[in-house]
Amino acid sequence: MPSRSAAVAAAVAVAEEHGVRVAEPEVLHDSFSLRILLRPAPIVARVPTTTALGRPRPADALEREMAVVSFLRAAGAPVVPPSDLLPAGPHVRDGIAVSFWAHVRHDPARVVTPGEAGRMLAELHAALRGFPGELPYLGPVLDEPARLLDLLAGAGPELVGAGELARLREAHAALRERLDGTAGLQAVHGDAHPGNLLATPAGLLWNDFEECMAAPVAWDLAVLLRTTRLDGRAAVRAYGADPGDPALRAFVAARGLQGALWVLARALRFPERAGEARAVLETWLRDPSGMTR
């Protein structure tokens, strides 16, 4: 997992090698990945940081994201595009993966309505049905949590106790069995909550496809159903699905477990967020169904 300074240095070095002058790199966001505005160029570099903990080859996820977004862009779907001012990547510099995206002005205070979120997800899924590439089957749901569980085994009881870790492992094994061989696969966003819809002058644009995968659309619906940013049940209805459909339950539970594990992993990088991570874990322990946030 790269440090912030190393990630910024790698992004700047790759950009400058391709003729982009970077006078003042600005970190826009640093949580699960690092996003850096390469001022004065309208380019945002994305570097996996926390997510690198669960991905042995972070560049592979960036490559899949780039393929899916490039396909959607060519199809006219509303997405934040890769940068056209240099090769968008992904690139690997000193073991650090970097991709480059167009910087789009957006209003973070703009509230996405349930109707907008549901309808836009339905339209996105319709476009993604034509994606011709290969994507891992539920990789971010089944494979990455397994790596995070192994990582958290060495975190210490202050973050995750032995009994708690055992419960997390048991839940993951049970969900793997429930989800094995699921039918109705297609390319999906993977992290389709309204925080990944940017309100821009050109309208709402989908962003952050790092977790794109082959899955039933029920996975993205479970993500939307669990969001705290809006009424998830209303958004799923606007999509055209039943939020009470029993077929969603396993995916809602899997999303709840996935989210808890990533928040715990983030606390390894940001120890000051351990209290928040413990609160998320305790919520999951009380209700592993994923319905409680």
**pLDDT value, residue 293:** 84
Q: Does residue 293 form part of some domain? A: no
The enclosing domain of 69 has a CATH number of 3.30.200.20
Q: What is the pTM of this model?
A: 0.94
Q: Are residues 154 and 245 in the same domain?
A: yes
> pLDDT tens for residues 91-145?
999 999 999 999 999 998 888 999 999 999 999 999 999 999 999 999 999 999 9
Task: Please say which residue of 42, 73, 102 terminates a domain.
Answer: 102
Which residues are CB-neighbours of 266 under 8 A, at least 6 positions away? 31, 32, 50, 273, 277
Q: Are residues 46 and 188 in the same domain?
A: no
Q: Are residues 278 and 141 in the same domain?
A: yes
The C-alpha atoms of residue 128 and residue 136 are separated, in whole angstroms, by 15
Pair of tokens at residue 14: 């790759």
> pLDDT tens for residues 21-45?
999 999 999 999 999 999 999 999 9
In this structure, are residues 77 and 124 in contact, taking their beta carbons and an 8 Å threshold? yes
**pLDDT value, residue 76:** 96
Q: Does residue 132 form part of some domain? A: yes
Pair of tokens at residue 49: 């940081």
Q: In which residue are the tokens 């349930």 written?
A: 114
In the predicted model, what is the mean pLDDT of residues 224-250? 96
Q: Does residue 291 form part of some domain? A: no
Q: Does residue 292 form part of some domain? A: no
**pLDDT value, residue 237:** 98
In this structure, are residues 220 and 188 in contact, taking their beta carbons and an 8 Å threshold? yes
Q: Does residue 109 form part of some domain? A: no
* Phi–psi pair at 110, nearest 5 degrees: -65, 125
The C-alpha atoms of residue 252 and residue 260 are separated, in whole angstroms, by 12
Higher-pLDDT residue of 269 and 293 is 269
In this structure, are residues 193 and 224 in contact, taking their beta carbons and an 8 Å threshold? yes
Q: Is the pLDDT of residue 200 over 90?
A: yes
- Identify residue 189 by its one-letter amino acid code: H
Q: Are residues 65 and 119 in the same domain?
A: no
Task: Please say which residue of 82, 102, 122 terminates a domain.
Answer: 102
Q: Are residues 119 and 78 in the same domain?
A: no
In the predicted model, what is the mean pLDDT of residues 17-22? 96
Q: Are residues 63 and 135 in the same domain?
A: no
Task: Please say which residue of 102, 122, 150 terminates a domain.
Answer: 102
- Strand ranges inside the chain, DSSP E: 24-30, 33-39, 43-48, 91-93, 96-102, 186-188, 197-200, 203-206, 213-215
Domain total of the chain: 2
Q: Is the pLDDT of residue 1 over 80?
A: no
Q: Are residues 128 and 196 in the same domain?
A: yes
**pLDDT value, residue 3:** 85
**pLDDT value, residue 227:** 94
Containing structural domain, residue 91: 4-102
> pLDDT tens for residues 150-198?
999 988 889 999 999 999 999 999 999 999 878 889 999 999 999 999 9
**pLDDT value, residue 108:** 86
Quickly state the pLDDT bin for 248 (edges 50, 70, 90).
Answer: very high
Q: Are residues 212 and 134 in the same domain?
A: yes
Q: Please state the separation of Cα 80 from the chain's center in Å.
A: 15
Q: Are residues 155 and 27 in the same domain?
A: no
